[in-house]
């Protein structure tokens, strides 16, 4: 799935909203544009679900994330927690509806 923006966007509802510290909320379309601009970057990370609750067609995940990004003379390492709301859509698939992350730079990285 490396660099497969279409597959990643398929994991989101059409009205998904992302909340990231220091930025205005943005949606699926803006996420896709940013992913395409970064498709030559190397992105590696880990993702640990700390809590998962399902309530009918809604669910939430509390996650711990660590991500390393490098490319074009850039190296970033960010880590922290995120809270994701998921919605079960008419086709039976769970997709991200809202995502708020609190990732911050790790020691000495941007």
* pLDDT surpasses 70 at 108: no
pLDDT-above-70 percentage for the chain: 95
Q: What is the DSSP string of 43-68?
A: EEEEEEEEEEEEETTEEEEEEEEEEE
pTM: 0.82
Identity of the highest mean pLDDT range in 11-20, 27-36, 71-80: 11-20
Distance of CA 73 to the CA centre of its chain: 23
Q: What is the pLDDT of residues 49-100, one digit of tens each?
A: 999 999 999 999 999 999 998 887 888 899 999 999 999 999 999 999 999 9
CB atoms within 10 A of CB 89: 13
């Amino acid at each position: 799935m490396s660099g497969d923006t279409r597959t990643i966007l398929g994991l989101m509802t059409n009205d998904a909203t992302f909340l990231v510290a220091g930025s205005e909320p943005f949606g699926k379309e803006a996420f896709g544009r940013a992913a395409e601009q970064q498709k030559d970057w190397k992105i590696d990370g880990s993702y640990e679900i700390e809590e998962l609750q399902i309530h009918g067609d809604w669910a939430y995940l509390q996650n711990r994330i660590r991500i390393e990004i490098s490319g074009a003379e850039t190296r970033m390492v960010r880590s922290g927690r995120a809270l994701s709301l998921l919605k079960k859509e008419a086709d039976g698939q769970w997709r991200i509806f809202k995502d708020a992350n609190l990732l911050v730079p790790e020691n000495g990285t941007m």
